[in-house]
Amino acid sequence: MTEPIETRAIFTKEDLIHTFKNCGLTEGQHIFVHTSLSKLGFVVGGPETLIRSLLEVVGEEGTLMMPSQTWKNLDPSTGVHWEAPMEWWPIIRENWPAYDKEITPAIGMGVVAEMFRKWPGAKRSDHPARSIAALGKHAEYLTKNHDLCNIFGKNSPLDKLYHLNGYVLLIGVGYDKNTSLHLAETIATFPGKKFVHESSAIMEEGTRKWVTYETQAVDDGDFVRLGDEYDKEMNIKIHRVGNAEVRFLEQRPLVDWAAAWMERNRV
């Protein structure tokens, strides 16, 4: 019986450092990273090795940021607890654990982001459903004062990265995972823009509270189409790293372009 042919690439930390530098990463940059580790291939040491390689590239003057969202901490009526029957919803509202940025696990962000938010020295923002984690020179600045009602807009972590002239690194994921496009949604003016009420469990002065807040509704349904057009118009280089497509993007030009695109294409 013949052994199956191995189709994965294998990477050491040194391999990844060399590869990321070839993609344009360099010391002192501030980068929002979205990654699917399995798409790369076999990374020796897994998520730890990937994080260490990125930290080594940006150095002490740089900053890494990753999503650490906890969107299960939203009202069941929004559909986040699709597996729970409606008669359980009041119990969930009364008992879902309050967000604790030291403990509450990220949901669906991948093994790299989950390890990153627990990394020594990492900071995490206070939003109970849409937090981000950061490590490095501007980690404190990026994560502080993440307003309940202003998840992705002015003075949010995304907006702060924008004003730092930051970058977006997509490793094995597409524009549908590009959180920075939500910042463009807050900037753009289009007829269908609306605001919704969301609810989450938080701790306030040592007491669990179920709070309701108003925030802009977001929609990633056109992000892939938008990204395809951005790649073509801006001649974005798509790197092939192992089994993954990798894009390294300047965040500010991307957000500005995306906001204008939304104003032309959204109804």
What secondary structure letter does DSSP report for 153? S
| Domain-located, residue 251 | yes
Antiparallel, parallel or unpaired: β 30-35 and 167-171: parallel
d(CA 10, CA 242): 7
Tokens 């937090």 locate to 131
d(CA 185, CA 255): 9
> Does residue 1 have a pLDDT over 80?
no
pLDDT tens digit sequence for 193-203: 999 999 999 99
pLDDT tens digit sequence for 133-176: 999 999 999 999 999 999 999 999 999 999 999 999 999 999 99
Q: 151 CB contacts (<8 Å, ≥6 apart)?
A: 127, 129, 130, 182, 215, 216, 218
- DSSP-derived 3-state class of residue 116: helix
The stretch 255-263 carries a mean pLDDT of 98
**HSE on the CB side for 19, CA within 13 Å?**
24
The band of 22, judged by pLDDT with boundaries at 50, 70 and 90, is very high
What secondary structure letter does DSSP report for 43? E
| Domain-located, residue 1 | no
| Domain-located, residue 22 | yes
| pLDDT attached to residue 2 | 77
The stretch 106-129 carries a mean pLDDT of 96
The amino acid at residue 25 is L
The stretch 257-264 carries a mean pLDDT of 98
| pLDDT attached to residue 4 | 86
Tokens 């989950």 locate to 114
| Domain-located, residue 226 | yes
The stretch 231-254 carries a mean pLDDT of 97
Residue 202 tokens, joined: 């938080």
| pLDDT attached to residue 233 | 98
| Domain-located, residue 4 | no
**Percent of the chain at pLDDT above 90?**
97
Kind plus residue range of the DSSP H or E element containing 213:
strand 207-216
> Does residue 21 have a pLDDT over 80?
yes
The stretch 12-36 carries a mean pLDDT of 98
Q: How far is CA 259 from CA 89, 182, 189, in A?
A: 36, 9, 8
| Domain-located, residue 43 | yes
Residue 259 tokens, joined: 């906001």
> Does residue 183 have a pLDDT over 80?
yes
| Domain-located, residue 5 | no
d(CA 140, CA 201): 23
- Reduced to 3 DSSP states, what percent helix, strand and coil does the chain have, rounded to the nearest 5? 35, 20, 40
| pLDDT attached to residue 252 | 98
**Percent of the chain at pLDDT above 70?**
100
Tally of domains in the chain: 1
pLDDT tens digit sequence for 216-235: 999 999 999 999 999 999 99
- DSSP-derived 3-state class of residue 104: coil
| Domain-located, residue 82 | yes
Domain span at 150: 10-265
The stretch 231-242 carries a mean pLDDT of 97
